[in-house]
Amino acid sequence: MFTGIESVIRDFARAAREKVETLRTDPDIFDIWAELVAAGERLASFTPMLSAGGEHEQRVASFGTQLICNGRALIFHITRARVSMPKSTREFIDRCATYAATGTVTVVPIPLPV
């Protein structure tokens, strides 16, 4: 149901990497930040392709979409702080593994940076 999301994730990852690798004093940082935000919005607005699978499929899609948004928020935090955040990353990877195995996940809200 998430067919086509790989390229959206790769674009977001590329923009995040470019943001981290650019000095805050570099004049290009404003364009780079805008590109990261735009890529993040494309990722957050990705719509899963649902068949007539009913309520269960909608729940799985909802969990997956929330997990994607949590991952996006985590990447925003990492790029702004310029630190790896290993505990948060490990917890996110664990939630991804749970989702892959069960189609459900304990959703932990991660607010976007201000």
Q: What is the pLDDT of residue 19?
A: 95
Q: What is the pTM of this model?
A: 0.84
Q: What is the pLDDT of residue 111?
A: 59
Q: Where do we find the tokens 């630190």? A: 83
Asked whether 69 and 44 are in contact (CB, 8 A), the reply is yes
Q: Which of 66, 54, 70 is nearest to 2 (CA)?
A: 66
For the chain, the distance separating the N- and C-terminal CA atoms, rounded to the nearest angstrom, is 31
Pairwise pLDDT comparison (89 vs 54), residue with the higher score: 89
Phi-psi region of 95 (alpha: psi -120 to 50; beta: other; left: phi over 0): alpha
Per-residue pLDDT band at 52 (split at 50, 70, 90): confident
Helix ranges restricted to H, 22-85: 29-44, 54-81
Listed in order, strand segments (DSSP E) in the chain are: none
Per-residue pLDDT band at 82 (split at 50, 70, 90): confident
